[in-house]
Amino acid sequence: MELNIRGFNASPATICLCIGIPLAACLFLVSNLPSLRLQTVLQGGRANQPGGWMGGNTQVLRRAYGTPIRTVPGPWYAKLTQLWLKKHTLAGRRMHYVHSLHEKYGPVVRISPSEIDVSDPAAFKIIHRINSGFLKSPWYASFRTGDTRDLFSMTNPKQHAERRKLFAPVFSNSALRKNWHGEVAGKVAVAVGKIKADAATNGGGEVDIFKWWTYMATDVISQLAFGEAFGMLEQGKKTKPMQKIEESIKFGLISSELPLLCRILQWVPLKAVQDMVNANELVQAHAEATMRRVRHDSLGASNIFSRIVAEQEKGGGRLSDYDVAFEAGGFIVAGSGTTAVTLTYLVWAVLSRPAVQARLESEVAGLEDGFTDVDLEKLPYLSAVIEETLRLYGAAPGALPRTVPHGGATLGEYFIPEGTTVSTQAYTLHRDKASYAEPERFAPDRFLSATGEFQPTQAVFCPFGAGSRTCVGMHLAFMELRHGVAQFFRECKGARLSAKTTPASMDMANYFLIGPAADQCWVTLG
């Protein structure tokens, strides 16, 4: 038997040596008994000593019951330990676990000694409105190793606003359509061609679309970020830069959830572990080398970051090559898996519903050759299908943790003291029965008016985050989604799900982003 976590394969022996033993030590000493000081354990601390066993138990009880959030409903063990939350997080089931707690306990639920989760739409707006004072929690900083911060991991609102102001113009709809529409449409066309060719060479016409959507989205964002694609569509496999990025993501996830384990892993003398530990540095080195070529004009102005460097230097500022490269790496991480996941679930959802498939195929068949993104945006049913997919299967539907500001806040019926971590998750908000009729049903018509025009919902809808921290690459994602949907359902009309693709294989695994449990989605063409 082997363990496979989003592409990471390991034998049981390797798991035990690399992760099992260090993880057990971390969970016992730090993660789930935060009041026990390591030196106290090593010294055999006594019950009557400060920081000893009695002192540790007292602190645990104080955190559980000596706080205003003691009245927030939730399972009894959530008051005492993070153990269950960590377990579900590491198993890729956090959002499902938290959703089940909301179903049992209501819209405000305590999920750990110092964290609550909120699914009340009114409270969501309080937390995520611009200038709310609810800042990103320290979790975001721990996701990226080292001291440098990018748009995703910055917690200081002033620094984030300054950096976002630099990036927002090049990621606007108008700028993307002017400068990058051809790149996006071209890469999508290649991907759909590869899907058809792959199906033709396989017995029965089967093809894994998740694989090809991942290659497409990665080549798009690497082309835009670095001025050269990683070449995954061309080679039909994950190239070395992408392999390093995946290793970097794995290490970031471990770092954010079990920081002590990361420090232990640095000393594990196994190549697979060291590749993961050092992956971020290798990604950074690749990005910096590309930025040096940008500055020496060997790539000219053929990428987004060369334009950003030029614009900010006009204003007298200067980001270092390291800073720009760090942002570029972050954009590739964010822009590859997200779009691929959404396209995969969209195709799966549509092929599972013949009436939806027929209506969508009919609409895109009416497009003239050479259609543009503007043309696609005018298609109401295509827009509704994308919107409904983002509601149920958006790529990042899990926790958006924030820190309660000075003075505390009242959320729903409960006063939450300052410093408490408050999370919200789109997975639950998008399934709110008061906001969406039959919320578990895939129904694109809910986003259409009585006259058949596309009509955005007035309910909470946050597949790209919310407020000032909304994803800056949202318009690029929509462009890729529109072209992916239109080209696939024009070129692959009549596609159907393979017998390999089942509800179980498409169950959403949640490691910050979601993905099919099987890491595949097979369809049959022809």
Helices (H) and strands (E) in the chain, counts: 23, 14
Q: What is the DSSP letter of 462?
A: -
- Phi first, then psi, for residue 131 (nearest 5°) are 65, 30
Cα separation, 68 vs 417, in Å, equals 7
Rounded to the nearest 10 degrees, what angle do helices 94-105 and 83-90 cross at? Answer: 130
Q: Establish whether 462 is an annotated binding residue.
A: no
How far, in Å, CA of 216 to CA of 205, rounded?
Answer: 20
Where does residue 386 fall: left (phi above 0), alpha (psi -120 to 50 degrees), or beta otherwise?
Answer: alpha
Partners of 4 in beta bridges: 9
What does DSSP say about strands 508-511 and 513-516: parallel, antiparallel, or unpaired? antiparallel
Q: Count CB-CB contacts under 10 A for residue 32.
A: 19
Is the separation of the CB atoms in 376 and 493 below 8 Å?
A: no
Instruction: List C-alpha distances in Å: 156 to 146, 152, 162, 194, 253.
Output: 16, 11, 10, 43, 21
Q: Within 13 Å and on the Cβ side, how many CA atoms surround 524?
A: 11
Given a contact cutoff of 8 angstroms between Cβ atoms, the answer to whether 343 and 481 are in contact is yes
Q: In degrees to the nearest 10, what's the CA dihedral of 437, 438, 441, 447?
A: 0
Burial 469-500 (b: 16+ CB within 10 A, else e): bebbbebbbbbbbbbbbbbbbbebeebbbbee
What is the β-pairing status of strands 115-118 and 421-423?
parallel
Rounded CA separation 237/250 (Å): 19
- Residue linked to tokens 């909120």: 118
Which residues partner with 522 through β-bridges?
208
- Decide: 383 and 454 in contact? Cβ < 8 Å: yes
Q: Which of 139, 102, 96 is nearest to 118 (CA)?
A: 102
Could you list the residues known to form a binding site for heme, using ranges. Answer: 471
Could you list the residues known to form a binding site, using ranges. Answer: 471
